[in-house]
A and B are shown apart, each in its own frame.
Chain A
Amino acid sequence: MKHNMEIQLDKIKVKKLNEYEQHELWQTIVNQLPAKKHQSILFSLFFKPRVMLGIFIALMLTLGGTATVQAANSSAPGDILFPLDRTIENLRLKIASDTKKEELKVKFSQERIDEINHIITEIETDGNMTIDQSVKVTSTSTVSATSSDFIDERLQNALGVALHFINQTKLDLEASGNSEAMTQINQLLDDLGNDLQNLSSEAKYKLKLESNDDKLRFEIKSKEKGEEKVELRLRSDEEKNRLQIKSREDKFELELETDDDSVQTTSSVSSVARGLTEAEVKIYTASSSMVKVEFNNQSSSFMLASSDRETIIAAIMSKYNVTRQAVEAVLKIEIMSNTSTSGSTSSTSSQGSGGQSNNSNDDNVNTNRQNGSVFIQSIEAEVRQNKTRVRVKYQGQNDQEFNLAVLSRSELVSALAIKYHLPELVIEGLLKFEVSE
């Protein structure tokens, strides 16, 4: 016979990696493997990467920046010498004084951009050749060709590195208040934006770079619709920057977020008008509904103290400054009946939720479910020793009582939100929480 716990545990079904995630992960892993595949056998026989790096650095330090450094310096992301390029830069930064440091950083930002230009020229001159080649290389390792088809992988890499670097520099400069350097950086970004736009006439895709005070955005728009989704995420542990390429139908979006101003990012976007793409309203009680809106590719949600259609439309209109038609075109309204789910959960649940029997008011639930008007009136929770006693009061129905193993208010809110399929904000509003010693 199966153990009772086993039955419970068998319900766990992890959402596994989908094909796309698997692919993306593999790509990131391969990119991080130290010995790259295009390294020749002869080369790897004589030089282990680490040994090689050591030799170059030793050379650089003794000769003080001659041919070797020059060679490394002209390497772009994806080249074997690129890591060395960065290492040397870091060394120079470490040695430099504070003011010198900022100058250097601007200079290195320029280099990053030059590298991109270098790759762009390569793509332009080789035309489709480069793209075909990269497809060939990756397909031997059974990597699907969609992303390389869409944009040359090296360019993608280089842009990633460059934007990450520049944004880092920008933040540093902002912190130190060096306005002259800031202007230079912004100038560089503008230049890069222009370069990318010039490329667009040749290629299958259109590139655009935008920079605001607090974020960088890089956009790749495909001229053909229905491209596959590509997402690139870069994360460095210390700084928690996140670089993302998102795609929505015919549009790509690359976003760089840092922890401190991720909030600003969301708000600053709304000024760039690209419109309302989604508005989903879930009505939970007569006086509370949750509105989920996607505006300019940013989704956000808020609570409204009304369930009236007109009021909801008006609220969205005023909040996002859009027309009535725009709202109505995408508006979806759903009436949530939480009673039905609570009933079924408590009857199957093993964590003792069935303080009260549900049978007596089954009829009641059914009739009410149809018009969706039975709602939880309030929830009282009291913490005693190791458990929390929860009492749920329904409108026109018997109360329900059960115990939970959660102890903190926030956890309880989450637990109840999952149990009743209600947003946490709604639960917060209903909950009375008490701790008794």
Chain B
Amino acid sequence: MDSQSKNYIAELIQLCAQGDTFAFRKLYEQLDQKIFSFLISRVPERADAMDILQDVFVDVWQALRKFTYKSDKQFYAFVFVITKRKVAKFYAGRDITVEFSEQHMSDMYSSPDFEIYTMSKLVNKLKKKYQDVIRLRYWSELSFAEIADYLDINESAAKVRHHRALKQLEILAQKYET
């Protein structure tokens, strides 16, 4: 998204508000993999991540009619809030735990590995805001600038939060191992 012209997102959003699905496709392509990877870290099954992703974009489309664009950051943060709300809705009133199994690992990860299993368990124990930063960084593979956009904070704050999250993880790792 860095290579695009400055107003690229703004233009797409405007077109979407007028009902241009082609522009919406472009927006979808900007975001789908990143949001999807984030969802992968949150749900039990790949199909669930796909379902939620679908819901997110249908919601985004509807919301864009009334959306007043201020900055790219504001838009990304907006989509991320919708995503988190959808995940919350997915879990609301249901007793679902992410059961780790061989099937789960190979559905979700390209190199299913025992370490990933342990790491995601540890990440689940972090505070919510630390979880987000870790998931965005390592599952969605975002840069700090992008993470800052999604979380609606500035870049240095994102770095600090990431650093603290790692520290917390280390403490947790020591607590639960050896």
| C-alpha gap A34/B24 in the complex (Å) | 13
Q: Is the CB of A16 within 8 A of B47?
A: no
Contact between A17 and B32 (Cβ–Cβ < 8 Å)?
yes
A386: B residues at CB distance < 8 A: 175-176
Of B3-11, B33-41, B68-76, B147-155, the one with at least 4 CB within 8 A of chain A: B33-41
How far is A108 from B81 in the complex, measured between Cα atoms in Å?
Answer: 40
- B80 within 8 Å of A (CB atoms): no
Instruction: Pick the contact of A351: B28, B99, B141, B177 (CB < 8 A).
Output: B177
Tier of interface size on chain B: 35 or more
Given contacts A33-B61, A352-B177, A424-B101, contact A12 B166 (CB under 8 A): no
- Closest CB of chain B to A424's CB: distance in Å? 7
Q: Is A410 in contact with chain B by the CB < 8 A criterion?
A: yes
B122 at the interface (CB under 8 A from A): yes
Tell me which of A32, A345, A411, A423 contacts B100 (CB under 8 A).
A411
Q: Would you call B166 and A29 a contact (CB within 8 A)?
A: no
> With A12-B116, A403-B178, A423-B102 in contact, is A29–B170 under 8 Å at CB?
no
A233 proximal to B (CB < 8 A): yes
Which residue, B118, B166, B169, has most C-beta atoms of chain A within 10 A? Answer: B118
A351 touching B118 by the CB < 8 A rule?
yes
Residues of A230-248 contacting chain B, CB below 8 A:
233, 235
If the complex has contacts A35-B19, A405-B177, A418-B100, are A350 and B115 also in contact, measured as CB distance less than 8 A? yes
Q: Are A352 and B99 in contact (CB under 8 A)?
A: no
Given contacts A28-B54, A415-B100, contact A405 B21 (CB under 8 A): no
Interface string of A27-46 (1 = CB under 8 A from B): 01110111101000000100
> CB-CB < 8 A to B24: which residues of A?
33
Evaluate whether A17 and B33 lie within 8 angstroms (CB atoms) in the complex, with A233-B47, A417-B102 already known: yes
Is A387 an interface position by the 8 A CB rule? Answer: yes
Interface string of B44-65 (1 = CB under 8 A from A): 0011001101100110011000
Residue of B nearest to A32 (CB): B58
Do A25 and B117 touch (CB < 8 A)?
no
Stretch at the interface among A1-9, A76-84, A187-195, A429-437: A1-9
Alpha-carbon distance A6/B134, docked complex (angstroms): 10
Closest Cβ neighbor of A341 among chain B residues: B114
Q: B178's closest neighbor in chain A, by CB?
A: A352
User: Please, which residue of chain A has its CB at the minimum distance from the CB of B90?
Assistant: A237
A37-B21, A386-B176, A418-B114 known; A29 vs B58 contact (CB < 8 Å): yes
Across-interface contacts of A5 in B (CB, < 8 A): 166, 169-170, 173
Give the nearest-CB partner of B57 in chain A. Answer: A29
Q: Does B108 contact A (CB under 8 A)?
A: yes
Instruction: Report the Cα distance A311→B45, complex, angstroms.
Output: 36
Give Cα distance in the complex from A403 to B24, angstroms: 49
CB-CB under 8 A from B107, the residues of chain A are: 15
Smallest CB separation, A324 vs chain B (Å)? 31
Q: Are B40 and A14 in contact (CB under 8 A)?
A: yes
With the chains together, A414 CA to B103 CA distance in Å? 10
Known: A142-B25, A233-B47. A13 touches B176 (CB 8 A): no
Chain B nearest CB from A122 CB (Å) reads: 24
A406: which B residues are within 8 A, CB to CB? 121
- Asked if residues B121 and A14 are in contact (CB atoms below 8 Å), the reply is no
| Cβ contact within 8 Å between A405 and B118 | yes
Min CB distance, A358 to chain B, in Å? 16
A318 interface hit (Cβ, 8 Å): no
**CB-based contact A17/B36 at 8 Å:** yes
Q: Does A26 interact with chain B (Cβ within 8 Å)? A: yes
Q: Which residues of A contact B109 (CB under 8 A)?
A: 12-15
Q: Does A249 contact B (CB under 8 A)?
A: no
* Cβ-based interface call for A94 (8 A): no
- B138-178 vs A, Cβ < 8 Å mask (1 yes, 0 no): 11110000000000000000000000001001100101111
- In the complex the two chains form, is B170's CB within 8 Å of A4's CB? yes
A25-B32, A29-B54, A351-B177 are known contacts. Are A11 and B115 too (CB-CB below 8 A)?
yes
Contact B113 A11 (CB under 8 A): yes
Does A349 sit within 8 A of B, measured CB to CB?
yes
For the complex, give the distance between the alpha carbons of A162 and B163 in Å: 53
Tell me, in angstroms, the Cα distance from A345 to B114 when the chains sit together: 8
When distances are taken between beta carbons in the complex, the residues of chain B under 8 Å from A309 are none
Tell me whether B36 and A29 are in contact (CB under 8 A). Answer: no
Cβ of A271 under 8 Å from chain B: no
Q: When chains A and B are docked, how far (Å) is the Cα of A26 from the Cα of B107?
A: 20
Contact partners of A35 in chain B: CB under 8 A: 19
Contact (Cβ within 8 A) A405 B51:
no
A8 to B99, CA, bound (A): 21
Report the separation of the CA atoms of residues A28 and B61 in the bound assembly, to the nearest whole angstrom: 13
B134 lies within 8 A of A387 (CB): no
Asked if A21 lies at the interface with its beta carbon under 8 angstroms from chain B, I say yes
**Cross-interface CB contact of A405 among B33, B105, B137, B176, cutoff 8 Å:** B176
Task: Give residues in B with beta carbon < 8 Å to A.
Answer: 19, 21-22, 24-25, 28, 32-33, 36-37, 40-41, 46-47, 50-51, 53-54, 57-58, 61-62, 99-102, 105, 107-122, 134, 137-141, 166, 169-170, 173, 175-178
The 7 A-B pairs with the shortest beta carbon distances in the complex, nearest first, are A405-B176, A9-B138, A14-B37, A419-B114, A13-B110, A352-B178, A15-B110
14 A-B pairs within 8 Å (CB atoms) are namely A4-B170, A5-B166, A13-B110, A14-B139, A15-B110, A33-B24, A44-B19, A386-B175, A387-B176, A405-B121, A406-B121, A415-B117, A415-B118, A418-B100
